[in-house]
Structure 1
Amino acid sequence: MERHEHGIGRRRLLGLGGVSGAAILLGTGLYGVGRATDALAVGPYPFQLGVASGDPLPDSVVLWTRLAPEPLAEDGLGGMPQRAVAVRYEVARDERFRDVVRRGQAAATPELAHSVHVDVQGLQPGREYFYRFRAGRELSPVGRTKTAPAPGAATREMTFAFTSCQHFEEGYFSAYRHLLADDPDLVAHCGDYIYESPSGLAVQPRKHVVREPFDLREYRLRYAQYRTDADLAEAHRLLPWIFTYDDHEVDNNWAGDISEHYPTVGKEEFLRRRAAAFQAYYEHLPLRPDRAPHGPDIAIHRRFRYGDLATFHVLDGRQFRDPQLPCTDPMACPDRLAPARTLLGPEQEAWLKSGLRSSATRWDVLVQQVPFTQLDEAAGPGFQYGKDNWNYFPAARQRIVDELVARPDLNAIVIGGEIHRHLAADIKATWDDPAAPPVASEFVATSVASGGNGNAGSTWVTRILAENPHIKYAWEQRGYVRARISQQEWRTDLRVVPVVTTPSGDAVTGASFVVEAGKRGLQVV
C-alpha cells in the first residue's frame, strides 16, 4: 500500500475544533497507553459493536474495536467514562489461540470514542489469522482475517466482493450474510456506508435514532447504530475490508468544500461538518492509523496489491472534486466540457496514472464510488445525465480512458456503486460508436438496502439498456457483487437480494459475466 498525506494548516485545524485535531495524535491508539487503566466498571458488555479488520498488507493488517457498553447512549460516547482504558489484543494462527504470534496493548481514549486501531505488523503473507481483544475481564468475539500475498508472488486466484449504499431505515443488511457464505478473500465498500439523511420511503422497517447528524456526537450515534446490524457485524468479524466513501457519509451530493445546500450553508460551516463526519468515519472502521483525519481532510486514496494477480487502486471521488453543475441537459451546460474540470483532483489523477503505468499484476481494479461509464438517461434523441457521476467530468474521464488505451496490456476493471442498481458495461474510447472496441469493463454494485426492495420491472432499466449499447446489464433490486479472479479470467456474479424489508431475504444470481485476460470486453456466461 502506498501512503499519501494531505496537510492542513495549524490555524485552520484549530479553527475546526480540538476533537478533530486530537485524531492526528491519537490515531495510532498508542498515545495514552501509559495513562490508561485496566479497570472497567462492572456493567454491560463493552464489545457490543464487535470487531473488524481491514487494509490488509502482506505483513500487516489493521484490527479494530470500539468499547461501547451502551452504543446508543445519547451523548454519543457509548456509555464509557471520560478516561483512557487499556485494551489488550492477541493474534494467533489458530482459533483457540494456542499459537499466538502477536500480542500487545493499546489505549481506547475518549477523544476517539474509545475506538482502537491496531496496525499489527510482522505477519506472514497470504495467511489466515485469528484475533481478539480484552478490556478488564471482558473478552471480545474472536475475529478472523487474512493478509495479502507478497508483492509479485505467484497468486493463482482470489475471491473478491464489493458493496455500496446501505440505508438503515430502508432495509436490513442481509446481503452480507450471503456475501459471507461466499468466503471472499477481501471485501470493498464503495461508499455510502451510512446515510446522513432520513428515508423518504413509505415503508421503513427500521428508524434512525438521530434524524440527521451535523456534529460529532450525532455522527457517532449514526455509525454506532449501523454497526449494530447483525449481518454487517458478522461480515466485519470474519473478513478483511477496504473502504472508500461517497457523499452520504457527510452530506448528499457534496463536492470539495461545497455542501449540497451552498450558498445557504457556507464553506466554513460545511468544513466543520465534514471534519465531524470524517472523524466518526475513522472511529468506526478498521482504517490504518495514518489515515486518521486532519480536521476536514482525510487521506483515503491508496493501493493494495495481491501478489501478481491484482492491484486495487482505491480512489477518493469527493474531497478534490470540482463543484457540481446545476443542470442535467449537457447542451445547456458548456462548462461541463471544460478540459480542466476534475473529479479526482490533479494530484490523485497523476497518482492513478502513475500506478497504472507501473502496474505489474494481471488485473488492475479501480475502486471508486460512482458510475464511470457514459450513461444516457433520456429516451430517444438527445442526452440526459445524472450530475453526481463521471458524466459531468467527461474530460477527466477521457484522460483515464486515454491512459488505458495507451496500455493495451492492462486488464482494467472499474467498480463502483451509488445508483442503487446493478450495471455491467464496457468502457469505450469512443462512446458514441457501438463498433468501437472496449478498453476496460465496469461493474456497478446495487445498494445493500437503500431504496427498499427495489423494482424488478423498472422502466429505468429498459430505457438505459435501449439508449446505451455498451451497457450489457442493468437491474434495480438490492444485493452485492462477487468476483472470482484468476490469471485467466475475471468472473463477476451480480447477486440480487429481492427482499430487504425483512431480515431473512434470500439471494440469487441476476447475471454473470466473464472478462478474459488479454481480451477486453464483457462476455455473458
Structure 2
Amino acid sequence: MRLPDSVSRRGLMLALGAGGVAVGSGRQALADPVFAEYPFQLGIAAGDPAPDGFVIWTRLAPRPLEIGHGMPSAPVPVRWEIATDRGFSNVAQRGEVIARPELGHAVHVEVTGLEPGRDYFYRFIAGAERTPSGRAKTAPTAGAAVARARFGVLGCQAYEQGFYTAHRKAAGEDLDFVYCYGDYIYEGRGNRTYTGSGGTVENPRQHLGGEIYSLDDYRRRYAQYKLDADLQASHAATAWYVTWDDHEVANNWVSDLDDGVPPEVFLLRRQAAAQAFYEHMPLRRSAFPRGSEMQLYRHAAWGDLLDLNFLDTRSHRSDQPCDDAWATTCAGVSAANAQVLGQAQEAWLYRNLDQSRAHWKVLAQQIMVMDLDRKEGPEPGYNLDSWAGYSIPRQRLLDRLRERRIGNTVVLTGDEHQNYAGELYRDSRNPEGAPIASEFVATSISSSGDGQDQRAEGRRYLADNPFLKFNNAQRGYVVCDVTPERWQTEFKVLDKVSERGGTLSTRAKFAVASGDARVVPA
C-alpha cells in the first residue's frame, strides 16, 4: 500500500504501536507504543513540591520541532516511577498516565503519599524507551522547625541572546528548589542580531520561524528551548516553582491588553500561550487553563521557615500608564483605580500575610517593587512596567506590611536583566524610619547577552536612589541561603554567555537580619 506523502513511516509505526485493543469491559486498553526515534527529547521536570509529593512532567515528542511532534493523534500510555535512590533499587511508587494529543502528549503526575523533607528520584517509561532520572525534594512538614533552606532564583532566558551555561551551573548547586520568575520563552521572530545598551551584536543562536501566535507556534518555541541540554539538566536537578511574566505571551502584555490588537483577538493568543505554558511546565491541575485564564498565583510553605507567595503580576493588571514610556511619569501613575494584582489576588495575598507564622514571608513575583528614579536630572522618571508605575497599589501593599507589622518580608523579582538589592519604603523620595521590606532582583540567564559589571545607568541609579544597595548587569542567577536568624542572597554571574563555557563567580553577597529589613553586605 502506498502511503500519502503526509503520513511518514515513523508516524505509521507509532500509530500502529499505540493502537487500542478491545477488552471485556467494552473500554479500550492502550498497547505500549513503538517509537522510531527517542520520544523524551524535551527532558523531564518536577515542580510545586509539597510535604507529601510534587508534580512530575514530561512530553512525548519524537520530532519536537514538527507540527504533530512526531506523534499520532491518539492517546499513549506512559509509566512513571518514584524511588528513594538514584539507581531505583527501592521504588516507592509507580503508576501509569495517559499522554493525550489534546495536550501535545504532555503528562503531569501529581505524586502524593511521600515522606516530607527528603530527596526522591523519578523517571518515565514509554514502550521500550526510558528517561534519565530526575531529583526532587519534598517540602518539610507544615509548621515543622527548619534550620536552613537553600534555593535558586532564575529566569529571562532569551534563547537567541546567549547559551544556558547558568542553568548548567545551577544544576550543580544542590538546591532545595528553584523559583523561576518567568520569561521562560521569548515570542519574537528569529533575529540574526540583537541591539541593546552595548550596541548591536551577533546572536549566538536563533529562533526558528517568525513571531509566535498559534498553539503550534508556541509548542515549537517551547520545544526549541527545551531541547537545550543545560536547561534539561537544571530541571532534572531539583523541583521548580514556576510563574510567568510577559514573553510567554507577548512583550509587556497585561490583562486582555496588547498594543494595537483588539482585546478579543489578543485573548485568542493568550489562550494558545496559556495552553502551551501548561503543557510544558510542571504545574498542578489547579493551573489547568480555562480559556485564556490560568490560576498561577498560589502559596507554598517550607516548614516554619518560609511562606512562599507566588504572584501573577500580568493577568490581572491594569494598563501601564503614560503609554508605557520609559523613565517618565504622568498623572496616570497615581490613578486611584489602578491594579497590579487585581482585587481577588490582592485580598488572597493579604490573608496569607496576616495569617503567616513563618520566620520569612516571601513575595515571589516578576516586576520590581523598588520605585527607582531612572531619569537623569531633578525630575523623577520610572519604569512604568514595574510597581513604580502603579503608586496606589504599591502604597497599599507597603502600608499593609507596616500597619500590620508583618516583618521579615522579602520580595524576589526578575524581569530587569540586571541584579539589584535594596530596601522598600512607601515613598522612596521621602523615606521615613526603617525600611518596610527587602527586595532582591535576579538577573537573566541569557537575555541581553553578555552584559557588563555595571552600566552607566546603573551607577546613576545607585547615586540617585539611596535605598538601592547593589547593581550589576551580568548574566547569571541568585542563590538564597536562609536560616531563622538571617537571609543571605548570593549573586552569581558569568563572564560571558555569547560562547559556551563561561566562568561563574560570586559577584556579591547581601544579607538581611531577622527583624531588620536593612540590606547589608554579607
Q: Scaled by the length of structure 1, what TM-score is found?
A: 0.90
In the other structure, the counterpart of 1:27 is: none
In the other structure, the counterpart of 1:52 is: 45
Q: CA 1:206 to 1:378, structure 2 compared with 1: closer, same or farther past 3 Å?
A: same
Contact 1:434–1:469 at 8 Å: present in 2 too?
no
User: Residues 306-317 of structure 1: matches in 2 within 5 Å?
Assistant: 306-317=302-313
Q: CA 1:84 to 1:519, structure 2 compared with 1: closer, same or farther past 3 Å?
A: same
The AA in structure 2 aligned to 1:272 is: L
Q: What's the offset of the Cα at 1:460?
A: 1.2
Q: What's the offset of the Cα at 1:457?
A: 4.5
Identify the match of residue 79 of structure 1 among 66, 70, 73. 70
Q: What's the offset of the Cα at 1:137?
A: 1.0
Contact 1:429–1:436 at 8 Å: present in 2 too?
no
User: Residues 95-174 of structure 1: matches in 2 within 5 Å?
Assistant: 95-174=86-165
- Output one character per residue of 1:467-515: Cα deviation in whole Å (capped at 9) or x when no partner: 1110000111111111100011000011111200112111111111110
Q: What's the offset of the Cα at 1:212?
A: 1.2
User: Residues 330-409 of structure 1: matches in 2 within 5 Å?
Assistant: 333-409=330-406
In the other structure, the counterpart of 2:251 is: 252
Q: Which region of structure 1 is more displaced relative to structure 2, 400-409 or 468-477? A: 400-409
In the other structure, the counterpart of 2:444 is: 447
Q: Which whole-Å CA distance do the structure 1 matches of 2:499 and 2:28 have between them?
A: 46
Task: Confirm or deny that 1:491 pairs with 2:484.
Answer: no
Q: Which whole-Å CA distance do the structure 1 matches of 2:112 and 2:104 have between them?
A: 24
Q: Which region of structure 1 is more displaced relative to structure 2, 501-510 or 152-161? A: 501-510
Q: Which region of structure 1 is more displaced relative to structure 2, 77-86 or 433-442? A: 433-442
SS of the residue 2:436 aligns to: strand
Q: CA 1:48 to 1:518, structure 2 compared with 1: closer, same or farther past 3 Å?
A: same
In the other structure, the counterpart of 2:220 is: 221
In the other structure, the counterpart of 2:33 is: 40
In the other structure, the counterpart of 2:315 is: 319
Contact 1:424–1:471 at 8 Å: present in 2 too?
yes
- Output one character per residue of 1:344-369: Cα deviation in whole Å (capped at 9) or x when no partner: 00110011111101001000110100
Contact 1:36–1:83 at 8 Å: present in 2 too?
no
Q: What's the offset of the Cα at 1:38?
A: 3.1
The AA in structure 1 aligned to 2:70 is: G
Query: Which ranges in structure 2 are unaligned for 5 or more consecutive residues?
Result: 1-26, 195-200
Contact 2:327–2:375 at 8 Å: present in 1 too?
no
Aligned residue pairs: how many?
A: 487
In the other structure, the counterpart of 1:8 is: none
Contact 1:337–1:394 at 8 Å: present in 2 too?
yes
SS of the residue 2:399 aligns to: helix
Q: Which region of structure 1 is more displaced relative to structure 2, 199-208 or 438-447? A: 199-208
SS of the residue 2:167 aligns to: helix
Q: Which whole-Å CA distance do the structure 2 matches of 1:163 and 1:351 have between them?
A: 25
Contact 2:82–2:122 at 8 Å: present in 1 too?
yes
CA RMSD of aligned residues (A): 1.5
Q: What's the offset of the Cα at 1:130?
A: 0.8
Q: Which whole-Å CA distance do the structure 1 matches of 2:393 and 2:454 have between them?
A: 34
The AA in structure 2 aligned to 1:275 is: Q
Q: What's the offset of the Cα at 1:407?
A: 3.5
In the other structure, the counterpart of 2:54 is: 61
SS of the residue 1:56 aligns to: strand
Q: Which whole-Å CA distance do the structure 2 matches of 1:71 and 1:409 have between them?
A: 47
Identify the match of residue 289 of structure 2 among 265, 290, 293. 293
Q: Which whole-Å CA distance do the structure 1 matches of 2:474 and 2:29 have between them?
A: 48
- Output one character per residue of 1:296-334: Cα deviation in whole Å (capped at 9) or x when no partner: 000000011000000110000001000122154898621
Q: What's the offset of the Cα at 1:421?
A: 0.5
Contact 1:174–1:504 at 8 Å: present in 2 too?
yes
Q: Which whole-Å CA distance do the structure 2 matches of 1:63 and 1:147 have between them?
A: 12
- Output one character per residue of 1:139-167: Cα deviation in whole Å (capped at 9) or x when no partner: 11111111100110010001011012100
- Output one character per residue of 1:414-442: Cα deviation in whole Å (capped at 9) or x when no partner: 01111111000100133123563111100
SS of the residue 2:151 aligns to: strand
Q: CA 1:367 to 1:331, structure 2 compared with 1: closer, same or farther past 3 Å?
A: closer
Q: Which whole-Å CA distance do the structure 1 matches of 2:144 and 2:28 have between them?
A: 43
Q: CA 1:341 to 1:323, structure 2 compared with 1: closer, same or farther past 3 Å?
A: same
In the other structure, the counterpart of 2:268 is: 272
Contact 2:82–2:91 at 8 Å: present in 1 too?
yes
Task: Confirm or deny that 1:233 pairs with 2:232.
Answer: yes
Q: CA 1:405 to 1:204, structure 2 compared with 1: closer, same or farther past 3 Å?
A: same
Contact 2:172–2:237 at 8 Å: present in 1 too?
no
Q: CA 1:121 to 1:444, structure 2 compared with 1: closer, same or farther past 3 Å?
A: same
In the other structure, the counterpart of 1:422 is: 419
- Output one character per residue of 1:365-414: Cα deviation in whole Å (capped at 9) or x when no partner: 10100111011111220111122111111110111101111233520100
Contact 1:52–1:240 at 8 Å: present in 2 too?
yes
Q: Scaled by the length of structure 2, what TM-score is found?
A: 0.91
Q: CA 1:327 to 1:370, structure 2 compared with 1: closer, same or farther past 3 Å?
A: closer
Query: Which ranges in structure 1 are unaligned for 5 or more consecutive residues?
Result: 1-33
Contact 1:423–1:444 at 8 Å: present in 2 too?
yes
The AA in structure 1 aligned to 2:117 is: G
In the other structure, the counterpart of 1:482 is: 479
Contact 2:45–2:282 at 8 Å: present in 1 too?
yes
User: Residues 202-217 of structure 1: matches in 2 within 5 Å?
Assistant: 202-217=201-216
- Output one character per residue of 1:8-46: Cα deviation in whole Å (capped at 9) or x when no partner: xxxxxxxxxxxxxxxxxxxxxxxxxx6562332341111
Identify the match of residue 181 of structure 1 among 172, 186, 204. 172
Q: Which whole-Å CA distance do the structure 2 matches of 1:387 and 1:407 have between them?
A: 28
Bigger Rg, which one: 2
SS of the residue 2:125 aligns to: strand
SS of the residue 1:477 aligns to: strand
SS of the residue 2:382 aligns to: coil
Q: CA 1:370 to 1:90, structure 2 compared with 1: closer, same or farther past 3 Å?
A: same
Contact 1:491–1:515 at 8 Å: present in 2 too?
yes
Q: Which whole-Å CA distance do the structure 1 matches of 2:166 and 2:334 have between them?
A: 38
Q: CA 1:331 to 1:233, structure 2 compared with 1: closer, same or farther past 3 Å?
A: closer
Q: Which region of structure 1 is more displaced relative to structure 2, 428-437 or 148-157? A: 428-437
Q: Which whole-Å CA distance do the structure 1 matches of 2:277 and 2:406 have between them?
A: 37
The AA in structure 2 aligned to 1:193 is: Y
Q: What's the offset of the Cα at 1:229?
A: 1.3
Q: Highest relative contact order (Cα 8 Å, sep 6+), 1 or 2?
A: 1
Contact 1:310–1:365 at 8 Å: present in 2 too?
yes
Q: CA 1:409 to 1:268, structure 2 compared with 1: closer, same or farther past 3 Å?
A: closer
The AA in structure 2 aligned to 1:456 is: D
Identify the match of residue 456 of structure 2 among 446, 456, 459. 459
- Output one character per residue of 1:99-139: Cα deviation in whole Å (capped at 9) or x when no partner: 21111110001110100000011111111111111101111
Contact 1:328–1:384 at 8 Å: present in 2 too?
no
Q: What's the offset of the Cα at 1:171?
A: 0.3
SS of the residue 1:55 aligns to: strand
Q: Which whole-Å CA distance do the structure 1 matches of 2:432 and 2:342 have between them?
A: 32
Q: Which whole-Å CA distance do the structure 1 matches of 2:29 and 2:86 have between them?
A: 28
